[in-house]
């Protein structure tokens, strides 16, 4: 099993290039099968979640051709099955987008209940409610969601809570329904907007993405398109907080600064300098940072996918911070790992009370999920001495070349597969 071994204690300094947004790419690659024409998608991150999704898409017969590391050409004309294999689905949660895409295009979809990171119960009732409102019958049989309709018809749908996945899934199915759909209380995340823009580039008629009311006029069919995915705000945010935790100075390139505002605001509040350029941000942290309170919220609030990373920074800040997780109930599993490094964090329900300490010390850690795994790497980079982060398969689901990009910023981090390599690393770094 691969691990990262890290010698911490040095500031990250330099420039890092951000890739395409994983969560947008998952939705957009799935939506690409909704036309029988060729679709070219560019700026796809080369991470394992995407590669599993591409296998799932090929598994139903669509042709996927990698043009280069970050571009894929897809055609849905060869799809022979509307039933998706459990092998893929158990690995990635976003496979549920195949429900909306197949239901919209073929009016029938069979998709096993989704897997993904274990960060809470993660029901999909809002997705199913939306499909039913569009006129589909939806049943769960032997762990498989079976959705079908004679015809989908537009509907007025009020989401009971703000859900990124449900908003995108309903938007995809409604794009090919008869008549008009209105989604109220829609998610406003940049990847909702990116998916709507992509569907529109294929001939869909979607307005209002990025606000909480999305209006979709159904069209008969979609056509070919070439599309470039937006930059990944969570990858960018991860490097922003890595710069802060290590008291570094990092220029994060190829970003949309507007998407990063919630994170920028918190970094400024705790004492970082953040400079915004057209498509880059620079984060510079001098000295010990201050405390703050954070509550995760749907976009444009502070993202739940950045909660572990900010908690690492606050574990080293001066004073007591309170971090409230309001989206997923099981997202503090990394706290026990940070405790091994000396952090002083107490979790009560959905709140973590963090008493900042001056230094973390290196320890052997286990990544509990994707974002928490990245946060533990940040902790390792900031800590004194050597840390080992196990179970990095989670991290590789969402971060392309994480160790290489960090090395370019001066980090001492290596991917190793056994104890012998860890010993060699220890001897080398002294």
Using the contact rule CB under 6 A, the part of the chain among 50-58, 83-91, 209-217, 300-308 near ligand UD1 is: 300-308
Q: Is 293 exposed, middle or buried (0-12, 13-18, 19+ CB in 10 A)?
A: middle
By CB under 6 A, how many residues form the interface with ligand UD1? Answer: 22
308: tokens are 């572990």
**Footprint on residues 106-135 left by ligand UD1 (CB under 6 A):** 120, 122-127
Number of H helices, E strands in the chain: 15, 23
- Taking the CB of residue 205, how many other CB atoms lie within 10 A of it? 13
- How far apart are CB 234 and ligand UD1 at their closest, in Å? 7
Query: Which residue number, 144 or 297, has a Cβ lying nearer to ligand UD1?
Result: 297
Query: Which residue number, 122 or 153, has a Cβ lying nearer to ligand UD1?
Result: 122
Query: Which residue number, 26 or 317, has a Cβ lying nearer to ligand UD1?
Result: 26
For the chain, the distance separating the N- and C-terminal CA atoms, rounded to the nearest angstrom, is: 24
| Contacts of 378 by beta carbon, 8 Å cutoff, 6+ apart | 238, 241, 242, 245, 246, 309, 312, 313
Using the contact rule CB under 6 A, the part of the chain among 53-61, 245-253, 299-307, 344-352 near ligand UD1 is: 299-307
Decide: 96 and 169 in contact? Cβ < 8 Å. yes
DSSP string, 74-134: EEGGG---SB--HHHHTT-GGGGHHHHHHHHHHSEEEEEPP----SS----HHHHHHHHHT
Check binding of 26 to ligand UD1 (CB under 6 A). Answer: yes
Decide: 106 and 82 in contact? Cβ < 8 Å. yes
Query: Which residue number, 113 or 144, has a Cβ lying nearer to ligand UD1?
Result: 113
Handedness of CA 385, 378, 317, 410 (dihedral sign): positive
Query: Which residue number, 75 or 126, has a Cβ lying nearer to ligand UD1?
Result: 126
Using the contact rule CB under 6 A, the part of the chain among 265-273, 303-311, 335-343, 354-362 near ligand UD1 is: 303-311
DSSP-derived secondary structure letter, 313: H
- How far apart are CB 415 and ligand UD1 at their closest, in Å? 24
Check binding of 21 to ligand UD1 (CB under 6 A). Answer: no
- How far apart are CB 421 and ligand UD1 at their closest, in Å? 31
Query: Which residue number, 125 or 273, has a Cβ lying nearer to ligand UD1?
Result: 125
Query: Which residue number, 155 or 386, has a Cβ lying nearer to ligand UD1?
Result: 155
Q: Is 340 an annotated catalytic residue? A: no
Q: Measure the CA–CA gap between 383 and 34, rounded to whole angstroms.
A: 48
**Footprint on residues 212-241 left by ligand UD1 (CB under 6 A):** none
- How far apart are CB 26 and ligand UD1 at their closest, in Å? 5
Task: Identify the active-site residue in 117, 272, 284, 366.
Answer: 117
Check binding of 305 to ligand UD1 (CB under 6 A). Answer: yes
**Footprint on residues 155-184 left by ligand UD1 (CB under 6 A):** 161, 163-166
**Footprint on residues 70-99 left by ligand UD1 (CB under 6 A):** 93-94
Nearest-CB residue for ligand UD1:
165
- How far apart are CB 124 and ligand UD1 at their closest, in Å? 4
Q: Measure the CA–CA gap between 30 and 45, rounded to whole angstroms.
A: 15
For strands 364-366 and 351-355, give the pairing.
Answer: unpaired
Check binding of 327 to ligand UD1 (CB under 6 A). Answer: yes
Phi-psi region of 425 (alpha: psi -120 to 50; beta: other; left: phi over 0): alpha
- How far apart are CB 160 and ligand UD1 at their closest, in Å? 8
CA angle in degrees (0–180, nearest 5) for 54-45-115: 50
**Footprint on residues 338-397 left by ligand UD1 (CB under 6 A):** none
Sheet architecture: strand order including 13-17:
13-17, 249-253, 280-284, 273-276
Bridge partners, 414 (sequence order): 5
- How far apart are CB 132 and ligand UD1 at their closest, in Å? 12
- How far apart are CB 408 and ligand UD1 at their closest, in Å? 26
Sheet architecture: strand order including 137-141:
108-112, 144-148, 137-141
Q: In 3D, which of 22, 39, 86 has the Cα closest to residue 60? A: 86
Binding residues for ligand UD1 (CB under 6 A): 23, 26, 93-94, 120, 122-127, 161, 163-166, 187, 303-305, 327-328
Task: Tell me the catalytic residues.
Answer: 117
């Amino acid at each position: 099993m691969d691990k990262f071994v890290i010698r911490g204690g040095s500031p990250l300094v330099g420039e890092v290039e951000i890739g395409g947004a994983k969560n947008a790419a998952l939705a957009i690659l799935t939506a690409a099968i909704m036309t029988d024409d060729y679709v070219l998608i560019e700026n796809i991150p080369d991470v394992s979640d995407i590669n599993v999704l591409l296998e799932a898409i090929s598994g139903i017969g669509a042709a996927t051709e990698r043009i280069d590391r970050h571009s894929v050409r897809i055609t849905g004309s060869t799809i022979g099955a509307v039933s998706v294999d459990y092998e893929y689905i158990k690995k990635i949660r976003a496979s549920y987008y195949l429900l909306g895409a197949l239901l919209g295009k073929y009016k029938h979809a069979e998709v096993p209940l989704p897997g993904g990171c274990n960060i809470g119960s993660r029901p999909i009732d809002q997705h199913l409610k939306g499909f039913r409102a569009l006129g589909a019958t939806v049943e769960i049989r032997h762990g498989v969601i079976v959705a079908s309709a004679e015809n989908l018809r537009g509907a007025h749908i009020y989401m009971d809570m703000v859900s990124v996945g449900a908003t995108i899934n309903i938007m995809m199915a409604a794009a090919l329904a008869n008549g008009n759909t209105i989604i109220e209380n829609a998610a406003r995340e940049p990847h909702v907007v990116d998916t709507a823009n992509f569907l529109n580039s294929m001939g869909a008629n979607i307005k209002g993405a990025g606000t909480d009311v999305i209006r979709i006029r159904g069209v008969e069919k979609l056509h070919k398109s070439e599309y470039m995915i937006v930059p990944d705000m969570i990858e960018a945010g991860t490097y922003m907080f890595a710069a802060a935790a290590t008291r570094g100075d990092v220029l994060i390139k190829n970003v949309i600064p507007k998407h990063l505002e919630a994170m920028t605001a918190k970094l400024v509040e705790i004492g970082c300098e953040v400079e915004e350029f057209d498509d880059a941000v620079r984060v510079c942290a001098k000295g010990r940072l201050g405390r703050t309170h954070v509550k995760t919220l749907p976009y444009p609030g502070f993202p739940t996918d950045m909660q572990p990373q900010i908690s690492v920074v606050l574990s080293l800040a001066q004073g007591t911070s309170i971090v409230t997780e309001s989206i997923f109930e099981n997202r503090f599993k990394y706290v026990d790992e940070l405790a091994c490094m000396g952090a002083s964090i107490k979790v009560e329900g959905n709140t973590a009370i963090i008493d900042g300490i001056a230094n973390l010390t290196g320890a052997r850690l286990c990544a509990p999920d994707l974002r928490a795994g990245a946060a533990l790497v940040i902790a390792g980079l900031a800590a004194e001495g050597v840390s080992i982060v196990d179970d990095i398969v989670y991290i590789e689901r969402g971060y392309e070349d994480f160790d290489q990009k960090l090395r370019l910023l001066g980090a001492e981090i290596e991917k190793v597969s056994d104890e012998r390599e860890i010993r060699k690393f220890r001897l080398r770094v002294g």
